[in-house]
Amino acid sequence: MRKALRVISTLLIFFSFGFVASAKELKLPTYPPTYRLSIGTSLKHLSGNPRVSEYEDISDNIYLFTDTALYPLPHRFHLFGHFLGERDYFVDTGYAYKDILLSRVVSVGFVHHTDHYPYNFKAPSPVELYEDRNIGEDYMQKVRKTRMKLRLKWPGYPYHLFLGYLNYHQTGTEQQRFLIGYFGDMKKVSQTRKMTKDTKEVVIGTNGNLGPIEIEYSHTEKRFDSSGDTILRDNYPEINIPPIISRPADNFPHNIYPDFKGHGDALKIHTSYTGQIVASYSLKGNVIRNLYSGVKRKTLRSSATFQYMPFHAFSFFLRMYYLDLEESNSDYTVLRGFSNQIRYDVRKSIDVKERGLHLSARLRPLKELTLIPSYSIKVKDRTDTDGWILANGNTTSQTYELRMLSSPLRRLKIRAGYSHIHTQNPLYNFVPEDRDRLKLYLSYLTSPLLQLTLSYSFTHDKRGNTSYYDHFSETFYNGKDRKGTRHFVLLSASSSPICSLNITASVGYYRLKEVSTLTFKQLKGDGTPVFVSPFMEHSVPYKDRAITYMLDIFRKINQRWDVSLSLSTTHSKGYFRTSTQPLSGLGGLSKIDNRDSSLRLSSNYKVLKDTSIGVELLYESYKDKINPDLDGRLYRGLIKITKNL
């Protein structure tokens, strides 16, 4: 990598000498620094399940906020951040010197509460047992994401070196559910698992102008490391059901978190973006390796684009790409117990080659009208599929689309689009063969006091006969058509009846309807099927919907005092409706019926010219009619003092 960087850097510097324009030093303006600092405290009370505040720290914390900007040119510095304790924060800071050095760091921290699904209920039969090793446990992960960018420029020359760094760190506890045994001696187990997952990515590269083109090269190193309960072990009973499975009793590992290591290189070339003709080419290669199993995946991506704009009212765009994904794995794996080692054969991984073409044009026949027609085709070929049960190995997808941008009236803006996607030989049953999608966006300023916004989308999916494979009889069964429709609409109205009052009301509605074939195989306690053929029910309807109401009010009472209020509630429902036994039980298992509501009241009062006091009250509620154990309410109060300098 260092050799490649030295070669490219030398070329860029050499070719750049002839393309540098001299300029006189300008007298730099001066800007006063700005400082804004807030300090306060946040008090919270949780009643019930923490799902109501899934991504929020529910403990009491000190609140800090800062917004600082310093511009003693040629130096530039900014710092923006807010903190609700060490686990809930956002920081954005950066420093620049002329155009020689540019740096920025963004870091986000939050917590994620996850549910505990109970396993401490009565076993349905003597050969099917349940074990909950951590009854009523609460699970939480602390998450931290940090991204850093640094760019260095050669003084007076269009040549840069850049460095990027990304870290995603997650630590905490989670619920692990797994199965011990086999039919006839089966136990479903739940236990708490401590884990730490850490992803690091470093990118180093260089770019510069070589006359009419710009070239860029970068190298990437990536690691995923895990610690904690990375490997679980349990005692498994003896199983001997030839030819399906044969395994002695022993203590075996399961549910492993492997480490990964990867690297990649990228080359990008493009012409000037300001001409009538713009062209670009990119080539990327990546290798990633599973350090536990030894599986290696190689990816090669290349793409080329061409854009031509002969005159203002017309432009043409072409993009082509190629993807080659190759994965290699061992022909076998070894399960190592304390007393036994068992060898299992492993199927060869599927290799994928994908190529695509996208054509689009931008036409402006009228000043108030822009049309964007486009066509794209994607062909995906799969090889080494002999060991896999695939009804269709290769897939071709074509997309036809037309978009429109229009302003027929001075206060009316319209965006509309229609697309049709046809997929030949889709790999999975849930992928439609034909999809039609319509999108519409309207924005109308009826008067200076009222603005209306409407967003609507409609999707219709259709799939011909679906296929289902029964590995007991090694037979494919055909289902009937799969059809579905989705509607989404969002209507918003914003009004300012007086200059110190702003009111925004919104309502959103989502609905999904589809019919499909459901298949079900009923097995005996020893794992053999009750009937040779599976249960199949055709045209089973599934419906879900969600409706949201939102209201935001802001009132500036006087020059010192302002108040804001936010209300929102969302109600979601969904279920399968089946009639064939034993499929009818799926209706209850698939049912969704919950409501999520929130109320936020905040106020700021300026006690001095540069000092204000703020108060914020928050109430959140989550209610689940299907599983009341998930119900919860959160109360939060925040008081802060803000100083402007």
pLDDT in tens, 93-148: 999 999 999 999 999 999 999 888 887 666 666 556 888 899 888 899 999 999 99
pLDDT in tens, 506-517: 999 999 999 988
Q: For 583, phi and psi rounded to 5 degrees?
A: -65, -20
Q: How confident is the model at residue 525 (pLDDT cuts 50, 70, 90)?
A: low
Q: How confident is the model at residue 389 (pLDDT cuts 50, 70, 90)?
A: confident
Closest of 425, 433, 435, 422 to residue 485, by C-alpha: 435
DSSP 178-222: EEEEETTEEEEEEEEEEEEEEEEEEEEEEEEEETTEEEEEEEEEE
CA–CA separation, 398 vs 420, rounded Å?
8
Please give the structure tokens belonging to residue 144.
Answer: 């931290």
pLDDT in tens, 570-616: 999 998 887 766 666 666 778 899 999 999 999 999 999 899 999 99
Per-chain mean pLDDT for the chain? 89
Alpha carbon distance, N-terminus to C-terminus of the chain: 48
Q: What is the pTM of this model?
A: 0.87
- For the segment 327-346, the average pLDDT, to the nearest whole number, is 92
Please give the structure tokens belonging to residue 503.
Answer: 């009111």
In this predicted structure, what is the pLDDT of residue 499?
A: 84
In this predicted structure, what is the pLDDT of residue 151?
A: 97
- For the segment 264-275, the average pLDDT, to the nearest whole number, is 92
- Enclosing H/E stretch for 407: strand 395-409
| 313 or 163, which is more confident | 163
524: left (phi over 0), alpha (psi -120 to 50) or beta: beta
CA–CA separation, 105 vs 164, rounded Å?
10
Closest of 619, 615, 616, 603 to residue 569, by C-alpha: 619
| 485 or 58, which is more confident | 485
Highest mean pLDDT: which of 29-33, 46-50, 224-228, 310-314?
A: 224-228
In this predicted structure, what is the pLDDT of residue 8?
A: 46
Residue in the block written with tokens 């954005």: 92
Please give the structure tokens belonging to residue 425.
Answer: 């030989």
β-bridge mates for residue 325, sequence order: 299, 352
Output the CA–CA distances (angstroms, integers) from residue 442 to 369, 405, 406, 456, 489, in the order listed.
14, 10, 10, 9, 12
Residue 51: is its pLDDT beyond 90? no
Q: How confident is the model at residue 447 (pLDDT cuts 50, 70, 90)?
A: confident
Q: Helix or strand or coil: residue 583?
A: helix
8: left (phi over 0), alpha (psi -120 to 50) or beta: alpha
